[in-house]
Amino acid sequence: MKTSEWIAILDFGSQYSQLIARRIREQRVYSEIVPYDISATELSQRAPSGIILSGGPASVFDPRAPLCHPDIFHLGIPVLGICYGMQMIVRALGGIVKPARSREFGDTQITLIDTTSLFKQMPDQIQVWMSHGDHVERMPEGFHVLAETVACPVAALADHDRNIYGLQFHPEVAHTPQGTDVLRHFLFDICTCSGDWEMARFIKDAITKIRHQVGAEHVVCGLSGGVDSAVTAVLIQQAIGDQLHCIFVDNGLLRSGELEAVEKTLGESFGIDLIVVDARKLFLDALKGVIDPEEKRKRIGKTFIDVFAAEALKLGNIKYLAQGTLYTDVIESASPIGGPSVTIKSHHNVGGLPDNLQFKLLEPVRELFKDEVRVLGRELGIPGHIINRQPFPGPGLAVRILGEVTEERLALLRQADIRVQQEITDLDHAADIWQSFAVLLPIQTVGVMGDSRTYENVAALRVVGSLDGMTADWIRLPYDTLARISNRIINEVTGINRVVYDISSKPPATIEWE
């Protein structure tokens, strides 16, 4: 995306790289995570206002440690190194880093020595979040200490003449209460950013880019009913009108009323060319007897591709495939330091299409986080019931049914889910909830209904808060709310006689059960 000012974040594998990007965008400055080995020439051509070197799991002593191009420090662009990033700056510019006698992990008090730049107008001591086993023994020529701790003589450093700075701690995490102020000083005082990045400007730039990329060709988009695909479709339609064709595959794994909502909002209200394919039987047949969650996802993905491809072929010569890929998808798919990445869950975006459907990809929101996509949707006039819709897994209810997926079990879960959503919607803080749903467990328990013994299913209730789905914590629902949800499901949904509440956070658990 073209923007007059932006911050490049070189990713060395830190678990906090996305958080750095988010913190910067919260200041209305566009940021982008780029590979750690991006060349100095490319950075110079793209002209960022500043460069941030993220932390990372490696040690600078590792012979395979990822290193940035040394010419980056001679571009005249302000640089901020965080944790590993700071140690790399020190070694690259002639300083010395050594293993610390005492490692620092967690909350730490740092003492400020110089408050003229990153720590302007801050008290003598501030709380920060440390996570390091190495420390700076000797600074490169031209640098001086900004802050120290008892165990770490150089907790922050600077070369004001070259505008190169380093922090041994993480300013981007909530455990560093004044970390945002530190980043603001870097963005506005040192990089002289104006903070004028806004969604209206993104829309204008995105529409121009789509028109230029697509030209007179046509685009096909798979709609899921979720926020990402809906926003993607409306944005593209505003750019190219009836050159867009959307396909909604009814896989039979949807929540109650989802298809009708998509038809009414996107088909009728926005006038998008919407094709609905009833493939419920195909998906259920493909899932028959399948218990393994990853196998479920693979079969659902393959069946979707088969159905989508067959329908897309009917449209004739389509050149582009639109996807609601988000920035989190892009980052999670990358392996920033060349190592193997573990598959937590298969990605559900359209992939593996047959050879006779070699589309060019169109991913207009791939630079945005989830909450930014919601803002974009509101700017585009998409109604709240779509924009504020909770994230829903691509494989649908199939991954909220542990064990085999059948028509009967789907009907049971839908009824439980309706009651969860009704009760959650009535809460005063419903907007703070990222996801709330029921999970049908593959066990039965004994119960008593009236004077009769029952032996029926167990439903688990999952309600979490999150900003972007990367981390999440379980919501402390009021007992009265939990009681109402449990009573309604047990009394109104025949086939469930027990409700349990999931109090696991992510990590170590995931939000979805499969």
Q: Which of 153-157, 208-212, 356-360, 413-417 has the lowest mean pLDDT?
A: 356-360
Helices (runs of H) and strands (runs of E) counted in the chain:
14, 18
Strand partners, 445: 456
Question: Residue 252 pLDDT more than 70?
Answer: yes
**pLDDT at position 354:** 62
Q: How far apart are CA 18 and CA 333, in angstroms?
A: 13
- Band (450; pLDDT cuts 50, 70, 90): confident
Mean of pLDDT values over 443-447: 91
Mean of pLDDT values over 427-436: 88
DSSP codes, 394-448: TTGGGGGB-S---HHHHHHHHHHHHHHHHHHHTSTTGGG-SEEEEEEEEEEEEEE
Mean of pLDDT values over 315-343: 66
Q: Tally Cβ neighbours within 10 Å of residue 62.
A: 9
83 catalytic, yes or no?
yes
Question: Residue 418 pLDDT more than 70?
Answer: yes
Q: Which of 170-184, 262-276, 474-488 has the lowest mean pLDDT?
A: 262-276
**pLDDT at position 392:** 86
Three-point CA angle 34, 37, 39, nearest 5°: 90
pLDDT in tens, 467-512: 777 788 999 999 999 999 999 999 999 999 999 999 999 988 889 9
Of the candidates 123, 87, 124, 125, which has an alpha carbon nearest to the alpha carbon of residue 108?
Answer: 125
191 catalytic, yes or no?
no
- Asked if 197 contacts 25 with a C-beta cutoff of 8 angstroms, the reply is yes
Mean of pLDDT values over 142-152: 91
**pLDDT at position 63:** 82
- Band (327; pLDDT cuts 50, 70, 90): confident
What is the number of alpha carbons within 13 Å of residue 102 lying toward its C-beta?
7
The H or E element that residue 241 is part of is none
Q: How far apart are CA 312 and CA 218, in angstroms?
A: 11
- Asked if 156 contacts 138 with a C-beta cutoff of 8 angstroms, the reply is no
- The whole-chain average pLDDT of the chain stands at 88
**pLDDT at position 342:** 36
**pLDDT at position 224:** 81
- Band (56; pLDDT cuts 50, 70, 90): confident
Mean of pLDDT values over 190-209: 90
- Asked if 112 contacts 126 with a C-beta cutoff of 8 angstroms, the reply is yes
Q: How far apart are CA 149 and CA 125, in angstroms?
A: 10
Percent of the chain with pLDDT over 90: 61
Distances, alpha carbon 426 to alpha carbons 384, 416, 429, in Å:
16, 16, 9
Residue of 172, 367, 372, 456 marked catalytic: 172
Amino acid at 417: D
Mean of pLDDT values over 406-425: 95
Instruction: Classify the C-alpha dihedral 182-187-190-195 as positive or negative.
Output: negative
450: left (phi over 0), alpha (psi -120 to 50) or beta: left
Q: How far apart are CA 504 and CA 441, in angstroms?
A: 16
- Asked if 90 contacts 140 with a C-beta cutoff of 8 angstroms, the reply is yes
**pLDDT at position 113:** 95
**pLDDT at position 412:** 96
**pLDDT at position 271:** 85
Question: Residue 253 pLDDT more than 90?
Answer: yes
Which tokens is 461 given? Answer: 């209730």
What is the number of alpha carbons within 13 Å of residue 10 lying toward its C-beta?
29
Question: Residue 251 pLDDT more than 60?
Answer: yes
- Band (339; pLDDT cuts 50, 70, 90): very low
Percent of the chain with pLDDT over 70: 92
pLDDT in tens, 101-134: 666 677 889 999 999 899 999 999 999 988 777 8
Of the candidates 228, 207, 231, which has an alpha carbon nearest to the alpha carbon of residue 370?
Answer: 228
Q: How far apart are CA 158 and CA 73, in angstroms?
A: 13
Which tokens is 309 given? Answer: 């491809």
What count of residues does the chain have? 514
Residue of 68, 104, 135, 170 marked catalytic: 170
Question: Residue 346 pLDDT more than 70?
Answer: no
- Asked if 494 contacts 457 with a C-beta cutoff of 8 angstroms, the reply is no
pTM: 0.72
If you compute the radius of gyration of the chain from its CA atoms, what whole number of angstroms results? 26
Which tokens is 296 given? Answer: 């479920």
Of the candidates 3, 62, 4, 58, which has an alpha carbon nearest to the alpha carbon of residue 36?
Answer: 58
Q: How far apart are CA 159 and CA 145, in angstroms?
A: 9
Residue of 83, 193, 221, 246 marked catalytic: 83
The H or E element that residue 313 is part of is helix 293-314
Beta carbons within 8 Å of 57's beta carbon, 6+ residues apart? 13, 14, 84
- Asked if 290 contacts 296 with a C-beta cutoff of 8 angstroms, the reply is yes
170 catalytic, yes or no?
yes
Q: Which of 86-100, 330-344, 378-392, 467-481 has the lowest mean pLDDT?
A: 330-344
Mean of pLDDT values over 339-357: 47
Q: How far apart are CA 199 and CA 197, in angstroms?
A: 7
Burial readout 20-35 (b: 16 or more C-beta within 10 A, e: otherwise):
bbbbbbebebbbbbbb
Q: How far apart are CA 290 and CA 403, in angstroms?
A: 7
- Band (70; pLDDT cuts 50, 70, 90): very high
Q: How far apart are the first and last CA of the chain?
A: 35
